[in-house]
């Protein structure tokens, strides 16, 4: 993947980094949001706040592949023009259902917070994510959330910006999750944090990019039948053993929970 540290494992990038005194080992658990933590795409869900719960054709025709963030900026502008306010958005976001098994997984994680450092990487928007996680009672589990900046302007319109710029040709113009994860690990290494393993739970094509950089001590948890899972399978067929992390597909997050439970049992 040109522009995304091709062929370099995430930990290999940190050799020579000056570290503080090491802390007790933890596992880093990274989540996607749309169709991973929640069982819908939140950008699609928010259309329920629109008049008639639909967008006009002239808005939908402006979508360009790889530029979804720009498209959603236009969607939010249109919704603002239609009188959609903060409370309308909040109501929709708070009622998006979690994916199957996700409540059980979060219950397990809440009881084992000393073992897992949890972060979220999402191409949705910060306001919507915070609303959903707070409503589910799990916001405090996350050490850091990486998503596109959003907020309400003086008109009361929800505004959206890009997260960053990057040079990865595989990812949307506004976000490369591998770049985010790499920079986060560099930051944590400088702070003295060491992780025995990285676990990545996702579903989309933009979750495949960071998972390729995982090493043999890490686990990728792709949702079964979704793009991340399909791309993982295709890579294994075309380039056997090129995907270094172990792959544990899931239909229900209970399967992720069981894997992590067994991991902790083996550590005892």
**Cα atoms found within 13 Å of the Cα of residue 92, Cβ hemisphere only:** 19
Q: Which residue in 34, 203, 207, 218 is the catalytic one?
A: 34
User: DSSP assignment, residue 148?
Assistant: -
Rounded Cα gap, residues 153 and 131, in angstroms: 18
Size of the chain in residues: 268
Any idea what the Cα angle at residue 136 is, between residues 256 and 53, rounded to 5°?
A: 105
Active site annotation includes 34 = yes
User: DSSP assignment, residue 174?
Assistant: T
Longest C-alpha distance within the chain, in Å? 59
Contact (Cβ atoms closer than 8 angstroms) between residue 29 and residue 199: yes
User: DSSP assignment, residue 50?
Assistant: S
Give, for 200, the enclosing helix (H) or strand (E). Answer: strand 195-202
Give, for 28, the enclosing helix (H) or strand (E). Answer: strand 26-31
- Span between the terminal Cα atoms of the chain, in Å: 38
User: DSSP assignment, residue 58?
Assistant: H
Q: How many CB atoms lie within 10 A of CB 49?
A: 20
Residues assigned a catalytic role: 32, 34
């Amino acid at each position: 993947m040109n522009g995304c540290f091709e062929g370099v494992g995430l930990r290999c990038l940190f050799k020579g980094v000056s570290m503080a005194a090491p802390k007790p080992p933890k596992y880093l658990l990274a989540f996607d949001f749309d169709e991973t933590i929640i069982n819908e795409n939140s950008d699609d869900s928010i259309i329920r706040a629109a008049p008639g719960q639909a967008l006009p054709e002239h808005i939908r025709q402006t979508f360009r592949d790889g530029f979804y963030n720009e498209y959603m900026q236009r969607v939010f502008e249109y919704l603002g023009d239609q009188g959609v306010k903060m409370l309308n958005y909040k109501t929709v976001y708070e009622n998006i259902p979690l994916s199957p098994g996700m409540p059980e997984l979060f219950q397990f994680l809440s009881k084992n917070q000393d073992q897992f450092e949890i972060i979220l990487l999402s191409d949705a928007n910060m306001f919507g994510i915070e609303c959903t996680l707070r409503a589910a009672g799990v916001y405090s589990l996350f050490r850091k959330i990486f998503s596109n900046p959003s907020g309400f302007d003086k008109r009361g319109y929800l505004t959206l910006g890009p997260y960053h710029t990057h040079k990865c040709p595989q990812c949307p113009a506004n976000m490369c999750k591998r770049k985010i994860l790499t920079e986060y690990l560099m930051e944590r290494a400088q702070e003295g944090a060491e992780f025995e393993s990285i676990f990545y739970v996702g579903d989309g094509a933009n979750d495949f990019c960071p998972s390729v950089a995982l090493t043999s001590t890490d686990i990728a948890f792709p949702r079964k039948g979704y793009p991340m899972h399909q791309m993982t399978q295709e890579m294994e067929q075309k380039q056997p053993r090129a995907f270094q992390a172990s792959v544990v597909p899931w239909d229900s997050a209970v399967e992720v929970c069981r894997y992590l439970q067994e991991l902790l049992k083996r550590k005892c």
